[in-house]
Amino acid sequence: MARTDVPISNLVGNGSLADPAGTTIDATNSHSVSLASVHSEELVLRVTNTHGSAHTVTVKAGGANPPSWRGGQGDLTVSVPATTGVVFIGPLSSSRFVQAGNVLNIDIEASHTGKITALKVPRGI
């Protein structure tokens, strides 16, 4: 299955960023974030839930060493509250979560509806 890509929105140091639209949750294919231009330690995921039930989002542990020499610590599973729930996930350790190919894989529970947004936090200001 091809995962749905989540583009990265850059937060602006000493500035502002209009609320990004986000990517519609794809509970069938789940998601990935390319880390070609960002370290996972600079990345925060915002996940919303518009469904009537709480759902989980799972950031998958890396399966290869390298890059994920701490992948054995396992996945990170986060519950997103029902209806108007919003959670922020991250920053995320590259040594635990980065997959071969320099991507993050995020699994979405069936029936989950809402948006997912990847936000890059600037390192220094």
The predicted-structure confidence for 51-86, as pLDDT tens digits, reads as follows 999 999 999 999 877 778 888 889 999 999 999 889
Q: How far is CA 26 from the centre of its chain?
A: 13
Whether residue 1 has pLDDT greater than 70? no
Domains of the chain: which residue ranges? 4-11+23-120
To the nearest whole number, what is the mean pLDDT of the chain? 92
Residue 102 has pLDDT above 70, yes or no: yes
C-beta separation of 106 from 44 below 8 A: no
- What is this structure's pTM? 0.92
At 37, the pLDDT band (50, 70, 90 cuts) reads confident
Contact 96, 58 (CB under 8 A): no
Smallest CA-to-CA distance from 60 within 75, 49, 48 is with 75
For residue 33, give the nearest of 91, 112, 81, 72 by alpha carbon.
91
> What confidence score (pLDDT) does residue 59 get?
97
Write down the pLDDT at residue 66. Answer: 74
Q: Which two tokens stand for residue 16?
A: 């502002």
Q: Which CATH class is domain 4-11+23-120?
A: mainly beta
